[in-house]
Structures are given as C-alpha cells and as structure tokens.
Amino acid sequence: MDAFWNSIALYNEATWLWQLVFVVLSAALAIVLWVRPCTWAKIAVKVLMVLESLWIAFVYYMKFCGIREHSNVMTIFWCMVAAAWVYDLATHFSSFQKSGKHVSWGVLMLILPLLYPVFSLIRGMSFPEMTTPMLPSGVALYMLGMLMTFNRKINFFAFIFILHWAFIAISKIRLFNIPEDALLAAACLPAMFIFFGEAAERACAGSSKPSVRAVKTLIFFVVLLIGICMVASYV
C-alpha cells in the first residue's frame, strides 16, 4: 500500500502542471462540445481521449508506477483504451452528440473527477499524496461522463474498457485504501444499466429474442447483483 501512495505522490509532485493543463483542456472541450458541437470539437475530444489514455499508460504507470508489481499490465491495458479511441477516430464509431436523455447524469459524472482531490482533502490527506482528476479512475470517470452526456451513439468498446477499469477500481477501494474510487463505482453501475439497455434496444431493431424488456430486466438484476457483491464485500 505504501508503494501505491508513494507512486501517486511522486506523480503529483512531478506532473501537477501537466495535469492542470489536461483538466483545463478537458473542461474546455466538454463546454465547446456542449455549446457549439462541431466536427473539429468532436475530433479534438477523441484525440484528447487518446492522449489521456496514453498519458496514464506511459507517464503514470510506466514512469511513476514502475516500482509496483505488474504495472506493465496496466500500461498495456491503457494502451488498449487508447486503441479503442483511435479506432473510433478512424471509424466514427461514436458521434459525441447529445440525445437529450440522461443529460443530468452526464453532467454529474463530468463533475465527479473534480471531487477526487476534495474527497482526499476531507480525508485529511495533503498534496502531493492525494488523488487528482488525472489519475486513472478520474480519467475513466471523465470518459464515462462524456459518453453519458453525448450519448446519441457511443463508443461501446471504450465503454466496456472503462467498465472493466471501474471494477478494478472497486477492488482497489479496499485493497489500497482509496475510498475516492467509490465515485467511479457509483457512476459505473447506472451507466452499465443505461448503455447495455440502449445497446439491447438497438440490437432489437429487426426482431430478436428475448424481448427488450426481458433483456433490460436481466441487465437490472446483473447490475443489482454486482452492487450487492460490492456492498457485501465491504460490510
């Protein structure tokens, strides 16, 4: 656990200015996409997603978390997340357009990464040994927020990678004493219900079985089961 928090402290101390640039850029692009959605903004957001994924892969995991066992796995994993966004750039998988649904959820999720340092400060931690929005879970939460806010057609590949990361984060809450990751855990379960439900509706455009209602019920119970498992493992 010490190695975990020491690596975060080293990372924050050395890269706080870069992290600030990323946060400002992320916020600015989210606002531009909200106010004036245009092609360049959509492409810029996808490029930003690639850059943030590669930043986490190479700067955070490869450079600052090298002392941790199996940190190379995480580097490869985040490269795969970056690959999912590059694929999106090439194939226009996601449209980054508002659909009018779940907007308040999306906005809430976009704000949540900013609560990471607040949460740490409330826990009595201080800079540099504290969480920031540019840690993997904060970045995953930002991606989830962007997918939720601009959800007309989402990058499902990126979403399930984020979901996988969220489940890793859930286990880290107890294993590495990082309760801030509960924010990502709390956000990922409703997102799972919404995105899987919408994917089931889209897949049912012709006719398929079981009915969309039955699939949504199954998704609800899976989400509920995961939530119960999470709570039960901490009680």
Partner 1 sequence: MTNDRIVEIADFIARYLSFMLGAGVHTSRVVRNSKRIGEALGVGVSIYTSQKTATLTVSVPGSSQRDTRVVDIPAYPISFEWNADLSALSWAAFDKKMSLEEIRGRFDEIVSKPKMNPVFVLLMVGLANASFCRLFGGDIWAMLITFTATLIGFFTRQHLTKKKVNHYIVFVISAFVASLCASTALSLGIETAEIALATSVLYLVPGVPLINGVIDITDGHIQIGISRLVNALMLIVCIAIGMSATLMLVKDSLL
Query: Which of 103, 128, 226, 227 is the binder for partner 1 (CB under 8 A)?
Result: 226
192, 219 contact by CB (below 8 A):
yes
Q: Looking at this protein, which amino acid is placed at residue 137?
A: S
Stretch that binds partner 1, among 26-34, 52-60, 70-78, 99-107 (CB under 8 A): 70-78
Which is closer to partner 1, CB of 30 or CB of 82? 82
Quote the CA–CA distance of 61 and 64 in Å, as a whole number: 6
**Shortest distance in whole angstroms from residue 35 CB to partner 1:** 33
The conformation of residue 67, written as its DSSP 8-state character, comes to T
For residues 45 and 73, the answer to whether their CB atoms sit within 8 Å is no
Q: Which residue of 70, 104, 213, 235 would you call a contact of partner 1, by CB under 8 A?
A: 70
Site string for partner 1, 148-187 (x = CB under 8 A): --------xx--xx-xx--xx-xxx--x------------
Chosen residue from 58, 62, 68, 227 binding partner 1 by CB under 8 A: 68
Pick between residue 127 and residue 221 the one whose CB is nearest to partner 1. Answer: 221
Buried b (16+ CB within 10 A) or exposed e, 180-212: bbbbbbbbbbebbbbbbbbebeeeeeeeeeeee
CB 75 to partner 1: min, Å: 10
Number of residues that make up the chain: 235
The burial of 126, by beta-carbon neighbours within 10 Å (0-12 exposed, 13-18 middle, 19 or more buried), is given as: exposed
Applying CB under 8 A, which residues contact partner 1? 68-74, 76-77, 80, 156-157, 160-161, 163-164, 167-168, 170-172, 175, 196, 199-200, 203-204, 206-210, 212, 214-215, 218-219, 222, 226, 229, 233
